[in-house]
């Protein structure tokens, strides 16, 4: 799980982010979602079946 900037919002001029979720067992990207805050990620990832079975997560230590 890691976030990446991908440009600025043309109206607000704020940097926009996308968060990528990678399946390390398969070595492939699983999903990419807009945003990086906890609220944004919870909203966009809550539909994933079996998410309660995740046992390990690798992520950077960025405050948001």
Q: Whose structure tokens read 């909203």?
A: 43
Using 70 as the pLDDT threshold, list the residues of the chain that sit under it.
62-64
Per the domain annotation, does 59 fall within a domain? Answer: no
Is residue 27, in this structure, part of any structural domain at all?
yes
Per DSSP, the three-state class of 44 is helix
Backbone φ and ψ of 38, nearest 5°: -60, -45
Domain membership of residue 64 (yes or no) is no
Q: Which residues constitute the domain of residue 21?
A: 2-49
The answer as to whether 37 is a domain residue is yes
Compute and round to an integer the Cα radius of gyration of the chain: 13
* The predicted structure's pLDDT at residue 63: 66
3-state helix vs strand vs coil in the chain, percent to 5: 15, 35, 45
Residue 60 placed within a domain: no
21 within some domain: yes
């Amino acid at each position: 799980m890691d976030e990446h900037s991908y440009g600025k919002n043309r109206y607000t001029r704020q940097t926009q982010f996308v968060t990528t979720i990678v399946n390390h067992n398969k070595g492939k990207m699983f999903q990419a979602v807009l945003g990086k805050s906890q609220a944004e990620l919870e909203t966009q990832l809550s539909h994933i079946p079996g998410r309660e079975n995740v046992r390990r997560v690798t992520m950077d230590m960025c405050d948001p």
